[in-house]
Amino acid sequence: MTAAAAAAPASSARHAWRRFARHRLAVASVLVLALLCLLAFSAPLFELALGTDSERVNLFSRLAPPSAQALLGTDELGRDMFLRLLEGGQVSLLVGLTAAVAAAVIGTFIGLVAGYFGGRFDAFLMRFTDGIIALPLLPLLIVLAAIDLDKLGIPAAIANSENISLYRIILIVALVGWTTVARLVRGAALSIREREYVQAAKVQGAGSWRIMRVHILPNLISPIIVATTLSVGNIILLESVLSFLGLGIQPPIPSWGNLLTNAQALISTAPLLAFYPGFLILLTVLAFNFLGDGLQDALDPRAVRRRA
């Protein structure tokens, strides 16, 4: 909670809410995201109602047009496209949110430590951050996604488990996605550590970790929330492209990205199969970006607009 918010919590929150409500696209985005989540996570109900599931292969009705049975038609193996999109949505949304939060935690830690301790330590960490920002990330992510877990000494039981591609993609994306939050937090921490109340806490003998946790971090919550929301979209895009290239989430787990893996071969016979997953990615990423923009207006009205 900021100093102003502590003085008048109710009115500050109301002001923030009013600023947010004025951003109509952000409000619409909340509704869209809520609807998407609701649909995606009620996939089991739809399966029950339709009497089928997303993995049932039916080679007699391949690439079928939409019908009452399969609302959006079927894919090249006769699987219900609508159900597959819902299941893929669960995975894409979960991976996007988890990786964004993980990246924010890493970024907050690095930024806080660099900004608070300053000096050479800060210079080193920020050089490192700049270095990562400047790299061509996708090629490096492809290498990271392709490495052999056996050679890293990870037990085969874990390396071959079904969900490993999920954990792996979250880890990889978080490893490169923390830079924006780190720079943001570092900049803010640099200025806050000079404030009188931080100096006062120091004089009273508070340790570095306590000062960072109690006196600095709470002031940074708003910008961290904004940056994290804005990064969810980017992370969903990154996950989807890696999955599309066959390096992210592995079938049989569906994701919006890997639903498109076969789309290029089928583009002339079934263009709609390629349309749906990408359109849902676009809708979700757009909604997260508008939401982040709206939150920025609401929580951080004086901040210079940063990039999405």
Partner 1 sequence: MARYLLDRMVQSVAVLAIMSVVIFWLMGLMPGDPIDLMISADPRLTPEDAARLRELHGLDLPISERYLNWLTAALSGNLGFSRLFAMPVLKAVLPALGNTVLLLGISFVLAVAIAFLSGIAAAMNQHRKLDYAINLLAFAAISIPSFWLALMMISLFSVTLGWLPASGTESVGGGGFLDKARFLVLPVLTLTIVSFGSHTRFVRASMIETLRQDYIRTARAKGAGEGRVVFRHALRNALIPVVTILALDFGFLFSGALIIETIFAYPGMGKLIFDAIMGNDYNLALVTLLFATALTLFCNLAADLAYAWLDPRISYTGDGA
Query: Which residues sit at the interface with partner 1, rule CB under 8 A?
Result: 25, 131, 133-140, 142-144, 146-148, 150-152, 233, 237, 240-241, 244-245, 260, 263-264, 267-268, 271, 274-275, 277-279, 281-282, 285-286, 289-290, 293, 304-305, 307-308
Nearer to partner 1, 5 or 40 (CB): 40
Cα separation, 171 vs 12, whole angstroms: 37
Are residues 165 and 253 in contact, defined by beta-carbon separation less than 8 angstroms? yes
Whole-number minimum distance, CB 142 to partner 1, in Å? 6
Are residues 288 and 29 in contact, defined by beta-carbon separation less than 8 angstroms? yes
3-state SS, residue 307: coil
Whole-number minimum distance, CB 130 to partner 1, in Å? 9
Nearer to partner 1, 206 or 241 (CB): 241
Whole-number minimum distance, CB 256 to partner 1, in Å? 9
Nearer to partner 1, 38 or 152 (CB): 152
CB atoms within 10 A of CB 94: 16
Nearer to partner 1, 17 or 279 (CB): 279
Nearer to partner 1, 13 or 267 (CB): 267
Whole-number minimum distance, CB 45 to partner 1, in Å? 28
**Alpha-carbon Rg of the chain, whole angstroms?**
23
Nearer to partner 1, 186 or 215 (CB): 186
Longest distance between any two alpha carbons in the chain, whole Å: 77
Q: Which residues contact 36 (CB under 8 A, 6 or more apart)?
A: 89, 93, 280, 283, 284, 287
Cα separation, 206 vs 17, whole angstroms: 35
Whole-number minimum distance, CB 138 to partner 1, in Å? 3
**Helix ranges, the chain (H):** 3-7, 9-22, 24-41, 43-50, 81-117, 119-134, 137-146, 156-159, 164-177, 179-192, 196-203, 208-210, 221-244, 271-299
Q: Which residues contact 132 (CB under 8 A, 6 or more apart)?
A: 176, 179
Residue indicated by tokens 């940056």: 227
Whole-number minimum distance, CB 221 to partner 1, in Å? 24
Residue type, 288: F
For residue 304, the 8-state DSSP code is P
Nearer to partner 1, 105 or 140 (CB): 140
Nearer to partner 1, 116 or 244 (CB): 244
Whole-number minimum distance, CB 105 to partner 1, in Å? 23
Q: For the chain, how many residues are written? A: 308
Whole-number minimum distance, CB 143 to partner 1, in Å? 5
Q: Which residues contact 39 (CB under 8 A, 6 or more apart)?
A: 86, 89
